[in-house]
Amino acid sequence: MATSVEVKTVGNWISGRVEASTSGRHGIVWDPATGAEQARVAFSNRTEVDLTVAVAKRAFAEWRSVPLSRRAEVMFKLRELIDANRRTIAGMITAEHGKTVPDAMGEVARGLENIEFACGIPNLLKGGFSEQASRGIDVYQIRQPLGVVAGITPFNFPAMVPMWMFANAIACGNAFILKPSEKDPSVSLYLAELIQKAGLPDGVFNVIQGDKEAVDRLLDHPDVKAISFVGSTPVAKAIYETGTRNGKRVQALGGAKNHMLLLPDADVAMAADAAVSAAYGSAGERCMAISVAVAVGDVADPLVAAIRERMAKIKVGPGTDDSNEMGPLITREHRDKVASYVANAATEGATVAVDGRGAIRRDGFFLEPSLLDNVAMGMRCYKDEIFGPVLCVMRVKTYEEALRIINENPFGNGVAIFTRDGGAAR
């Protein structure tokens, strides 16, 4: 006889407690390592967003006048609590995102740096004063909180990116609403508990789970004064346009295509180590992942050989097993999309040096690392952000040609150069 197992639904955090959504809509939270449904996540509606904003607005009225030293005290306490619970937070990240536990521990460490920064808020919020800015006129500059502000965050850093946003927003005296990624939402509620334990008054930090409907309401709600977004470029653009049209301050960080540039004098072993860890760490689902290696002159052949040698040793498997170095991708759809770039590469004229699609047959959303050689600018695998364990190699004749390619790419975020020539590096 089949037995039904109750699946938990990840709810909201409003005014200091978990609130179940009544919207009737939800998303599925997968276990990427097994491919099984492990939870559901509420998709909040406009009314629930309105209620959360009202709660945050009331809490803001008090919180903005709490002394800086007291706000800093909350941040110091939160720092201790996160530090003491690194393993728990990392475990929650691994369970829903799939990255390995050491990688998740790294995420927590990076997130913690933002809480530490916010501990210095009494100093950071100092204003300025200019005497005689005009004849007989002195000018004061003071920093004040805006009110209710919201953060909309991506799946790939479910703890760190929220920490980028809420630590400073709260320390500055704002009330904050987090709309986490619906793919790995649970850690947001655990962070909310720690924030409460740190002594933050209820209502100053809230979590609203959801999809486009909740985001759209945050974007047009008159009491939300600023939006911080991190995610893919098309969504970043839409959020920036709508938010600013509605008179809000918006910062929207989008997708990436990071290049590494190798000059003929590069230390190939060192560059290959860096390429393998930056391209395949966290299954390539990092905004700072290296996805293109641009090799100048003769360095390409030894580089490809050294990368292939290292790739063969990468152990792919569930992130919960400490012997694994790379976990699964976030969803089946995303894994299949990433695999399609490898499948199409040869038709576009690239060489599939290593094909990682063998792991597709396993349970879970796994894909082994892939290496595409002889990639050119017009190819889809070069033009799109793949956001998976696929590294493209481009072969060029000169440094100038490499620079032109990198500068013409419409994506950020970063570029690395490998050379023994200090002048070229500078």
How long a stretch of residues is the chain?
426
Output 145 or 243, the one with its CB closest to ligand NAD: 243
Which residues are at the interface with ligand NAD (CB under 6 A)? 152-157, 161, 179, 181-182, 211-212, 215, 230-232, 235, 253-256, 287, 385, 387, 413
Shortest gap between Cβ of 155 and ligand NAD (angstroms)? 4
Q: Which residues pair with 351 in a beta bridge?
A: 373
Q: Using the minimum distance from each CB to ligand NAD, give the nearer residue, 39 or 303.
A: 39
User: Which residue is nearest to ligand NAD, using beta carbons?
Assistant: 231
Query: What is the β-pairing status of strands 36-42 and 26-31?
Result: antiparallel
In the complex, the smallest distance separating the C-beta of residue 232 from ligand NAD, rounded to whole angstroms, is 3
Residue 36 to residue 129: CA distance in whole angstroms: 59
27 or 173: whose CB is closer to ligand NAD?
27
Look at residue 363 and give its three-state secondary structure: coil
Closest approach, Cβ 181 to ligand NAD, in A, equals: 4
Alpha-carbon distances of 122 from 31, 71, 112, 141, 197, rounded to whole Å: 42, 9, 18, 15, 21
Q: How many CB atoms lie within 10 A of CB 245?
A: 11
Write down the least CB distance from residue 278 to ligand NAD, Å.
Answer: 14
Nearer to ligand NAD, 232 or 340 (CB): 232
How many other C-beta atoms are found inside a 10 Å radius of the C-beta of residue 95? Answer: 20
Residue type, 76: F
Minimum distance of ligand NAD from residue 141's CB (angstroms): 29
Cβ atoms of 141 and 129 closer than 8 Å: yes
Answer yes or no: 392 catalytic. Answer: no
Q: Which of 119, 172, 287, 392 is catalytic?
A: 287
Residue 15 or 228 having the CB closest to ligand NAD: 228
Structure tokens at 41: 């996540």
Summary count for the chain: helices (H), strands (E): 15, 18
From residue 81, alpha-carbon distances to 84, 95, 146, 191 in Å are 5, 21, 27, 10
C-beta separation of 372 from 342 below 8 A: yes
Question: Closest distance between ligand NAD and the C-beta of residue 153, in Å?
Answer: 6
Which is nearer to ligand NAD, 145 or 231 (by Cβ)? 231
Element (H, E) at 84: helix 68-84
Query: Cα(73)–Cα(55) distance, rounded to whole angstroms?
Result: 23
Tell me the pairing of strands 205-207 and 224-230.
unpaired
Q: Which sequence positions are flagged as catalytic?
A: 287
